A and B are shown apart, each in its own frame.
Chain A
Amino acid sequence: MSEPLLRAEHIARSYGRRRVLRDINLAVAPGTLVGIVGENGAGKSTLLRILAGELRPNRGTIARTGALGYCPQMVLLNDTLTVNQHLAYFRAAYDLTDLSYAETLIARLGYQQYRRMPVGALSGGTRQKVNLTLALMHQPGILLLDEPYQGFDWETYLHFWELAEELRAKGRAVLVISHLLFDQQRFDALYRLENGQLTRLPTERAAPHPQTEEV
C-alpha cells in the first residue's frame, strides 16, 4: 500500500462556540478520486480551506506531499488582467520553468481565442475554464476542488472528468467537495461530512486503487 499524498488526522475547527469540524480523519492515496459530500453549512469549505493550508485548524495535523492544486468555489480571477497575464502571474507563483502544460490545457479546453482578453470580459463558462487551468497548470500531486460543477457548462464538465481521470492514471489524486456528487461511480472513495465528521459511503467503482480510506 503506497503512502497517501494527503493525510489529515483529528482535524477540528470552531468558529466561536460553533464547532464546525470535530474530528476529521482522511488519507488520500495516489491515483484516486475522492469525493466528500455534505449539506450546505456542513463545513465543506472550511475543511477544504484547512486541507489547502488557507485556514489553520484548532487541532489536528495535516501532512501533504507534492504540489497542491486548488480550485476555489468562487472563480477567483483578476478581472483587469488578460488570460495570458494570469498564466504569467501563476507561472511566477508556481515557479514554473515554462507554460507548456498550461498551453496544452488551454488547447484542450478550447479557449485559445480569448487569451488576449481581460478575463472580466469573458463569459462565465470561459472564466471557469481559466479557473481550472490555473489550478492544474503546474500538474499538482493533489487537486482540491470546491463545488467544481457549479459553474461548469456541459463541455467543461466532460473535460474536467477527462483531466481528472488522467491525473488519476498518472498517480495523482483529486479531491472533490460538493453538496451534490454526480457520477458517483467515478469515485474511488466517497465520504459524507456530517456533524463535523466524515463517514465512508459505499462506492460502485471497481477499485483498482483501494488505498484511500479513513484512518
Chain B
Amino acid sequence: MSSWSRYATAARFALVEQARNRFALGLLLVFVPIWDGLFAMLISAAPVAFKLQSTGAFLQVNGHDLTVLTSGFNAITLIVAFMIFTVTRRNAAFDRRLALAGLPQPVAIAAKTTAIIVASTLVSLYAALIMEAFWRPESFGAIWLGYLLDALIYGALGLLLGVLVSSELAGFFLIIMVSLMDTLLQAPVENPLANKDFLAAFPTFGPMQVAVSGGFGHGVPGGSILFAVAWFVGFALLGLAIFWRKTRIWRTQAMPSLPAAQPAISHPA
C-alpha cells in the first residue's frame, strides 16, 4: 500500500470514530441552539464597547448580537475539545497496537490532525449557521472563520489532554475550566474587563477579534488569524509530540545472518 492509501485509511477511521460519538453529536445539535437562544433571549441590545486590536479603536456594538456570538464560542470550544479528547484518550492503547503492527507514526499523526481539522470545520460551520437564526452579521465568512479558528485551538487542546490526562473526569474538568475562563473573560457583556490588554494572550482572543471585526463590518484582521493559528499549532505540536513518544516502537536489531523478509507461505484452502 502506498503511504497515501495508508493515510487515507487511518484518516477515514479517525473520522468514522468522531461520527459515531453520538453523545457529542447530540450535544452539538441540541446544546448550541439552546445556548445561543438563551443568551439571545436574556441579553438586551444595549450598546457595548469592544476594543479592536487591529486599530486600537473601541467599537460600540449591539450587546445582544455580540453575546449571541460569544455564546457560540463558549459552546463550540467545549464540544470540539470534548470530542477530540474522548476519542484520543479512549484509543491510547489501540493506537499503540497499530504502531506495533507497523502503522507509521507520521501516518497516524496526519490522520489525527485531519480528524481535528474536519471536525472543527463542520462544527464551526454548524455553529455559525445556528447563530444566523439570532443575528445576521455583516460577514458570515468572518463568523465561520472565527469559530473555525477557536474550534481548531480547542480540538488541539482536546488532543493534548487526551494524551496527557489518564482520567476522563479530570480531562472534562480541565476542558470546562479552560473554556469558561477563556471565552467568558473575552465577552464584554459578561465581563466588563474584557477589553483589558492581558486578555489578548488568551486562546480565544484572536478568533473573537476575527469574528467581531468581520461580523460588524470592519474587515478581518490578519494578525489575529495568525495569533489564533499559533495557539492551534502550539497545542497540536505539544499533543502530537507526546502522542509520538507514547506510540514509539523500539526497533530491534536486524539479524545480519538472515534475510529481512520471511518467505511467503501458502494460505490454507
Contact = CB atoms under 8 A, between A and B. Distances in A.
A72 B97 contact: yes
Contacts of B17: 78, 80-81
A96 B1 contact: yes
Most buried by B among A65, A88, A141, A172: A65
Interface of B: 1, 5-6, 9-10, 13, 16-17, 20-21, 91, 93-94, 96-103, 107, 249-255, 257-262, 265, 267-268
Contacts of A172: 265
B9 A88 contact: yes
A215 interface: no
Nearest to B10: A92
B267 A63 contact: no
B250 A56 contact: yes
B253 A63 contact: yes
Given A53-B251, A72-B97, A78-B91, A92 B268 contact: no
| Among B251, B259, B262, residue most surrounded by chain A Cβ atoms (within 10 Å) | B262
Interface of A: 3, 7, 52-56, 61-68, 70, 72, 74, 76-78, 80-81, 85, 88-97, 100-101, 104, 108, 118, 134, 138-139, 141, 166, 170, 172
Contacts of A64: 252-253, 255
Contacts of A65: 254-255, 258-260, 262
B255 A95 contact: no
A76 B103 contact: no
B253 A61 contact: yes
A139 B91 contact: no
Contacts of B21: 80
A122 to B, nearest CB: 15
B257 A93 contact: no
Given A3-B257, A100-B267, 10 more contacts: A3-B255, A53-B252, A64-B253, A65-B262, A88-B13, A92-B10, A93-B98, A93-B103, A94-B102, A134-B97
Contacts of B93: 72, 74, 76
A166 B268 CA distance: 9
A108 B99 CA distance: 27
A197 B93 CA distance: 28
Nearest to B99: A93
A95 B6 CA distance: 8
Contacts of A55: 250
Contact of B94 (A66, A67, A78, A96): A78
A139 B20 contact: no
A35 B31 CA distance: 55
B100 A81 contact: no
A81 B98 contact: no
A92 B5 contact: yes
Contacts of B6: 92-93, 95
Nearest to A55: B250
